[in-house]
Structure 1
Amino acid sequence: MYVAALCTLLVSQFIIVGTARANAGELTEAAYRAEGSAKGVVLLDVDLGRYGRCGGNETAQLRRIAFNRMPVTDIKADLPADAEIIGALLPTAAPRGLRNYAFLLSPGEYAMTRISIRVSQSASQMGHLELGPEQLAPNGLAKAGSFRVSAGEIAYIGNFKVDCAPPMTLWRYYTEGKANFAEHLSQYRQSFPFLKLDDVQYRLFETKTIGTPYELK
């Protein structure tokens, strides 16, 4: 029911492809050394690759996800994101597969406030399925879900990619099992060698719409 409702919103928001912007809030070594004790680090993986025959479309590709600190009171289409990942402008520029991301954020709870999936029905019919803060955070509620992070901690919130099984939607996956998660952390160490990853909190993005609960065992 929840996935179907989300997909209905996505279909209703089909618009023309927009322009590219840089990611917001991404972690840098300089920022971490300056503010790592006052802010928290959020780890996640995202797949921005293009997939064929996806959810009744010729192709589909996650183009953008964004998060804002709650409460989200200024609901508007151009709401600046606290953490945002934007895919390549050209559909073929982003390889398939999950990629490590890290964000340095002020302590608090963050709602997902934007989802954009680029789709094509044919070579001449392309656009985006869009959800913004008006749909994802109405009345200050985290409709798609949220995560939280505290000062000085590092939290892993999951893996995000398009689920092509009809009805197509964004889905929050996760790395399952302690051994697999230890291997996943080794990948983060390679991507962000300046991070201290000895005490990472496994705290998945909480959602009733685009993922299922899981506890690391």
Structure 2
Amino acid sequence: MLRFENTADADVDVDAEHALPGRGEPVLSMPFLHRITANRLDREFPGAETAYLAAGCFWGVEKLYWNLPGVLSTAVGYMGGYTPNPTYEEVCTGQTGHAETVRVVFDPTRTSYAQLVRLFFENHDPTQLNRQGADVGTQYRSALFATSPAQEATARRLYESFQASMTEAGYGRLVTQIAPAGDWYYAEGYHQQYLEANPDGYCPVHATGIRCSAV
């Protein structure tokens, strides 16, 4: 298991002892087909890598990635908490500890983890603690859940570079949590590729307009 310090406090209001109990069965039954690619969400791609990114409402964040060259699959779900197989309603109480997270499976010969993290930083405001715009709560926190020491090192490098750019632009401290990827739980089916099924759905991206130059 990876063990390293978080870049910033997630400020989650619950611990493992007091989190909701959850359940033994996933809330999303497989097979479930991706609305864009028609592949199973849990399909394995030989040679692929996986990134887990949390940047507020996962509907809009997932859309940022599903048409990106080199991305093979996307899904939305929950990570960073304690409750097994939580429901959306439970996550929204703040009593599971999870963040709304996007799972991005990508071909490292066509894109890089650094490119995915650059897009992450440029498309939300990582100085907002436990919120993005009007969406407030620990489930909307900014977080990068790394699957390897190499991902963790890349996340920290881009974090430091983006902090310098944000400071120069007059913004405050980045509060993005950098932590090891833990248990991943798929969100309910109606959340998957939500903005494809609901093109008029509301889920804005809270970009600051500041570029992340270190890739």
- Tell me if TM exceeds 0.5: no
Q: Which has the higher helix share?
A: 2
Compare relative contact order (CA 8 Å, sep 6+) and give the higher one, 1 or 2: 2
Where is the strand percentage greater, Structure 1 or Structure 2?
1
